[in-house]
Structure 1
Amino acid sequence: MVIEYIRYTVPARRADEFEQAYRAASSVLDDDPHCLAYEIARGVEEPEHYTVRIEWDSIEGHEQGFRRSPRFGEFFAAVKPFFSHIEEMKHYDARFGAR
């Protein structure tokens, strides 16, 4: 498993639009066999900051499976208006944690 983190800075006036975009895109993530889990979190102290966390079965599953899937275009269309607001988009290998 790998975790993709996408950090956004979204102007307050577009926060509702951003959240709605990810609500629309979430159905694609829900249906994709390579997506294990995801969450969209909004900053408390700095509400213009959002972090999207997606657990993928592998980098290949994300980049070769999901991005080449028939529904990827639907996902991309929903979130594309916010690509200019991305501060970071990278994969991480989880080392340890707790529930």
Structure 2
Amino acid sequence: MDDYTAAGAELLQSPPALSFDMSRCVEAPVQFILRIEWAAAEAHLQGFRGSREFQKFFPHIRACLNDLADMRHDERLLPNA
């Protein structure tokens, strides 16, 4: 969890990263969802991944990538209620 806290601080230094949140499954407490809101998918794929901020962010999450079940880009259809 500390790694994700540190990663989040680095992530939010990147202008295309608007916000992030993390949740844990109640039934399976070793499973987590990390949601990052980007200005656009292209801002993540072509902007952030080549940035200095990514170089600082990535070491914090590298160990968790082996357990990564899913990564995708979604678009918001309804604002937060």
Provide TM-score, normalisation by structure 1: 0.76
Q: After the TM superposition, list the runs of 4 or more consecutive aligned residues in structure 1 that deviate by more than 4 angstroms.
A: none
Identity of aligned residues (%): 32
Aligned length: 81
Structure 1, unaligned stretches of length 5 or more?
A: 1-18
1:61 is aligned, of 30, 40, 43, to 43
1:5-44 map, 5 Å: 19-44=1-26
1:51 matched to 2:33? The reply is yes
- Paired residue type of 1:32: S
Task: Provide the residue aligned with 2:70 in structure 1.
Answer: 88
Structure 2, unaligned stretches of length 5 or more?
A: none
- Residue 98 of structure 1 and its aligned partner are, at CA, apart by 3.5
Alpha-carbon RMSD across the aligned residues, in angstroms, is 1.1
- Paired residue type of 1:63: L
> For the Cα contact (< 8 Å) 2:13–2:53, is it kept in 1?
no
2:56 is aligned, of 45, 58, 74, to 74
